[in-house]
Amino acid sequence: MSSEHHSGSLIDNASRSKDDQSGDSATGQSPAIELRGLSKKYGDLDAVRQLELSIRSGEFFTLLGPSGCGKSTTLRMVAGLEAPTEGQVYLEGKDVTATAPERRSTSTVFQDYALFPHLTVLGNVLFPLRMKRLPRSEGLDKANKILQLVGLAGLEDRRPEQLSGGQRQRVALARSLVWRPRALLLDEPLAALDFQLRREMQDMLKELQSEVGITFMLVTHDQTEAFSLSDRIGVMNDGRLEQVGTPHELYYQPRTLFVATFLGNINLIRGQVESSDNDRVVARCGPLRVAGRSVSGSIPPGTDVTIGIRPESIRQNAAHTAAINTATCRVLSTTFLGSQEVTLLEIAPGIHWRCYEERGRTTSNIKGGRTMTATWDAEDALIFTDSDDKKKLPL
């Protein structure tokens, strides 16, 4: 990207459509952020292992995973706040691995705001422009535009202590965006906020990203947050990227048991493959026979597998008499949750599954202790050969 690209206003930037900058293969444009073989060791600990990742310009990309899996370390290496042990970071096609943070075209927002307490809202937002020696009138114009965008117009003269947590984070966002970085890096920016405010700030972040049109890279452990904000998500586990995809792809086509269990609820059962035809697999699971779809191609008969079925894929009492993908089970409880009913089923001795029914679809008022038939489609039974979570699995 040429330096002229940095000189317009935020509003000019917003007017570039997402399609203009949607992707590398479509436009020949370099990825906004590219990681090649990126690793970080702290002593003997492999915090980040051999990450390969390409984030498109204008994309809202999220690194999602449990605490300690290496998300922040990865983001800090993109920002230049942490040096990789191995590998490279590219920003818009340029190797910046050895470039200081302030010379990179990225800006970072942290959970704890890190505002200057003695400066006003306006003073905080003007600060990066003063560092870049922008004339004050030009700076004021940019600061006022970005304060308007984050919904802080009218609060310019307040000091951070006179603001709520949500407002402080808006100031931090405005300060990070005012100098028009090419990518905004967000390290759990909403983690300190209460539930309601988080939801509001998520909406604001999404709107803000579409307004400013730049690449956002977010780190979070919150699946709902990742799903509601992201174009694509990279799921991390133990320093590795397990899978990258859209929320829909990750939810319905998880490639590993970890991804399947980390994203939403999934009922699991262990079994052994009886037969397999490409990705179509039939497995014996104690008293049940399950036909399903392998996430990793053909699996030889006799292989131990784990089968996962989402609660919403299970039908109750459907007219279905086949001896496969059917379980006669005991209803342990039914919980009404407004738009949904959650039924806990004992699918086989000691194996409890959840089943979600949208309200109104339930054919009868099922009380605990009753017997019913649960069925599901082969398309919805995912077969995994990995079992990194054996402890939790029945059979």
**Cα(305)–Cα(385) distance, integer angstroms:** 5
The piece of 63-71, 132-140, 177-185, 255-263 that touches ligand ADP (CB under 6 A) is: 63-71
Residue nearer to ligand ADP on the CB measure, 73 or 169: 73
Q: Report 168-187 residues binding ligand ADP (CB under 6 A).
A: none
Q: What are the structure tokens assigned to 312, written together? A: 């919403």
Q: Does 69 bind ligand ADP (CB under 6 A)?
A: yes
Q: How far is the CB of 70 from ligand ADP (least distance, A)?
A: 4
SS3 content of the chain, % helix, strand, coil (to 5): 30, 35, 35
Q: Which is nearer to ligand ADP, 242 or 341 (CB)?
A: 242
CB 127 within 8 A of CB 176: no
Q: Least distance to ligand ADP from the beta carbon of 43, Å? A: 7
Q: Does 70 bind ligand ADP (CB under 6 A)?
A: yes
Between 69 and 121, name the residue whose CB sits nearer to ligand ADP.
69
Tell the burial category of 11 from Cβ atoms under 10 Å away from its Cβ (0-12, 13-18, 19+). Answer: middle
* Of 2, 7, 25, 67, the one binding ligand ADP by CB under 6 A: 67
Q: How far is the CB of 94 from ligand ADP (least distance, A)?
A: 24
Contact partners, residue 7, CB within 8 Å, separation at least 6: none
Q: Does 72 bind ligand ADP (CB under 6 A)?
A: yes
In contact, 187 and 108? CB cutoff 8 Å: yes
Helix runs in 178-296, H state only: 195-212, 223-229, 247-252, 257-262
Residue 247 as a binder of ligand ADP (CB under 6 A): the answer is no
Select from 62, 73, 108, 176 the one that contacts ligand ADP (CB under 6 A).
Answer: 73
Between 89 and 329, CB nearer to ligand ADP: 89
Q: Is 68 in the site for ligand ADP (CB under 6 A)?
A: yes
Minimum CB–partner distance for residue 39 and ligand ADP (Å): 12
From the CB of 186, what's the least distance to ligand ADP, in Å?
12
Q: Which is nearer to ligand ADP, 237 or 375 (CB)?
A: 237
Site of tokens 């959650």: 342
Q: Contact 308/331 with Cβ under 8 angstroms?
A: no
Q: Which of 31, 58, 65, 254 binds ligand ADP (CB under 6 A)?
A: 65
Q: Which is nearer to ligand ADP, 71 or 240 (CB)?
A: 71
- Give 68 or 349: the residue with its C-beta nearer to ligand ADP: 68
In this structure, the number of other CB atoms found within 10 A of the CB of residue 381 comes to 23
**Smallest gap from residue 239 Cβ to ligand ADP (A):** 7
Kindly give the interhelix angle for 165-177 and 136-149, rounded to the nearest 10 degrees: 130
Closest alpha carbon to 191 in 258, 109, 261, 121 = 109
The dihedral formed by the CA atoms of 312, 317, 319 and 322, expressed in degrees to the nearest 10: 80
State the minimum distance, in angstroms, from the CB of residue 46 to ligand ADP: 9
Name the burial class of residue 367, with classes exposed (0-12), middle (13-18) and buried (19+) by CB atoms within 10 angstroms of its CB.
Answer: exposed
Count interface residues toward ligand ADP (CB under 6 A): 11
Residue of 21, 31, 51, 71 interacting with ligand ADP (CB under 6 A):
71
Closest distance to ligand ADP from the beta carbon of 360 (Å):
40
Give, for 183, the enclosing helix (H) or strand (E): strand 183-187
Piece of 15-23, 51-59, 64-72, 338-346 that binds ligand ADP (CB under 6 A): 64-72
Handedness of CA 36, 41, 44, 46 (dihedral sign): negative
User: Which residues face 216 on adjacent strands?
Assistant: 60, 184
Site for ligand ADP in 22-51 (CB under 6 A): 42, 45, 47
Piece in contact with ligand ADP (CB under 6 A), picked from 65-73, 195-203, 251-259, 322-330: 65-73
Query: Which residue's CB is nearer to ligand ADP, number 65 or number 247?
Result: 65
Q: Check residue 93 and give left, alpha or beta (phi > 0: left; psi -120 to 50: alpha).
A: left
Rounded to whole angstroms, how far apart are CA atoms 128 and 134? 9
Contacts with ligand ADP, residue ranges (CB under 6 A): 42, 45, 47, 65, 67-73
